[in-house]
Amino acid sequence: MTGKGSALAGRLAQGTVLGAEGYVFELERRGYVKAGAYVPEAVLDFPDAVTELHREFLRAGADVMVALTYYAHRGKLRQVGRESELEAMNRQAVRLARQVAAEGGALVAGNVCNTWAYDPQDAATADVVRGMYTEQLGWAAEEGIDFVIAETNDYLGEALIGLEVSQELGLPAMVTLASTGPAETWDGYGYVEACKILAGHGAAIVGLNCDRGPATMLPLIARIREQVDCAVAAQPVPYRTSEASPTMESLRAEGVARVFPLALDPFSCTRFEMADFAVAARDLGVNYVGICCGAGPHHVRAMAEALGRTVPASKYSPSMDLHPILGTAAPRQNLGVLDAWNVIL
């Protein structure tokens, strides 16, 4: 199904939809998720922390609250010894997202991602993946979601399973690919071709999320936008990727043994860079503009405001005029301090 007549279609018809993700990364920084496994145990252990981050993104202008079920699939929960809590975690995640979405009229998305169980050479693994998606999205549908985000797909084959399961539940789906390779999915489809196939199978939105920063996602998403007829999503990581290091996983820093995933901070994009990305993506015709791992609410608010919106958190947006040194009304005796700040050594 294409999702025509759905709440998602209605929102897309109104203009650019602003997304905000990266929950697992941000909750890890806050001490509620274990890096490595990256299972969103906080949904059960610290639900207030999840609710708070939803609320921060909502106030910053996010149009969609994404249920934190990323990596909350059977395989991952088994790995961390919490398989018996699988259903509780998935249902609770949707409830938390719904509760906050209702505070601001946001849409609610269910969420599935790459499972690490899929192998295109082994047909039996497709059934394993289908089973995991069916139970996760079945619970999400029962709790009440507007659409599904099936994301960070390394394989087109796995992405298509997420789409099919969504369609069986009668839910529109946004299906996005990870783009860790230079040009192709791990099962050998060019990213543009893979998006065309997903669109052809009825995805409501296709595109890319995670892995690439704005600089290296924009050229690829421009080609996808030219080639597909349905809505397109771009949710980069807020890191300064480059032609030499097109993904956050390939970023390198002198003297740092491993930059990804715990030492990415020096590569962080500023709020201004993410605002520029939002405008550039909108101008390319991207319909769902967002942000992934590394995102903070300050990025999202800057993106929302760059798209011409005033959001709840805009009440506290910067007014540098009021700054005691930088403001236009700063006393003259502070000008010397400003000069000292601006000295280039």
Q: Name the residues that contact Zn ion, by CB under 5 A.
A: 210, 292-293
| Minimum distance from residue 168 beta carbon to Zn ion (Å) | 26
Nearer to Zn ion, 157 or 290 (CB): 290
What is the C-alpha separation between 36 and 128, in angstroms, rounded?
23
> Is the CB of 100 or the CB of 292 nearer to Zn ion?
292
Cβ distance to Zn ion smaller for residue 169 or 288: 288
Give the chain's radius of gyration (CA, Å): 20
Residue whose CB is less far from Zn ion, 20 or 293: 293
Cβ atoms of 80 and 89 closer than 8 Å: no
Shortest Å, Cβ 313 to Zn ion: 22
| Nearest distance, CB of residue 339 and Zn ion, angstroms | 42
Give the residue with the Cβ less far from Zn ion, 218 or 292: 292
Contacts of 238 (CB under 8 A, 6+ apart): 213, 214, 268, 269, 273, 274, 291, 294, 295, 296, 299
State the nearest-atom distance from the C-beta of 345 to Zn ion, in Å: 37
Q: Is 243 exposed, middle or buried (0-12, 13-18, 19+ CB in 10 A)?
A: exposed
Q: Which is nearer to Zn ion, 132 or 292 (CB)?
A: 292
Alpha helical stretches, state H, 6-155: 7-14, 23-29, 42-45, 47-59, 74-79, 86-104, 123-143
- When the beta carbons of 232 and 292 are compared against Zn ion, the nearer one is 292
CB of 217 vs Zn ion, minimal distance in Å: 12
Rounded to a whole number of angstroms, the minimum distance from the CB of residue 237 to Zn ion is 6
CB of residue 152 to Zn ion, shortest distance in Å = 6
Query: Which residue shows structure tokens 């941000």?
Result: 26
In sequence order, what are the beta bridge partners of 251?
A: none
CA distance 223 to 179: 14
Nearest Cα residue to 333 out of 324, 321, 341, 345:
324
Residue 65 sits at the vertex; the CA angle it makes with 61 and 70, to the nearest 5 degrees, is 130
Q: In degrees rounded to 5, what are phi and psi of residue 120?
A: -60, -20
